[in-house]
Amino acid sequence: MPAPLRLLLIEDSARDAALLVRMLQRAGYAVDAEQVETAEGARAALDRQEWDLVIADHTMPPLALMPHSRCYGSGVSICP
């Protein structure tokens, strides 16, 4: 049985997001993913629930303004 994985994707490309989900599924995870495209969406998603993994496209212009390392909730850290 695949291991469950709550994944937050901060990504403006649906194609890239789908590729990441497929790669994790092939690695044996049952991925429950949410994709957001803005820094505001990322903050809202991080405040709304806990995530096992957060993957961010740090080259997106609005995300470039976020701090390079910021901790959210219990032990979630976002670093480029």
Which domains does the chain show, CATH number per domain?
3-78 (3.40.50.2300)
The strand pair at 3-10 and 53-56 is best described as parallel
Q: In this structure, are residues 21 and 29 in contact, taking their beta carbons and an 8 Å threshold?
A: no
Tokens of 55: 């993957």
pLDDT above 90 for 65:
no
pLDDT digit string (tens) for 1-60? 889 999 999 998 999 999 999 999 999 999 999 999 988 888 899 899 999 999 888 776
The strand pair at 29-36 and 53-56 is best described as unpaired
Q: In this structure, are residues 55 and 8 in contact, taking their beta carbons and an 8 Å threshold?
A: yes
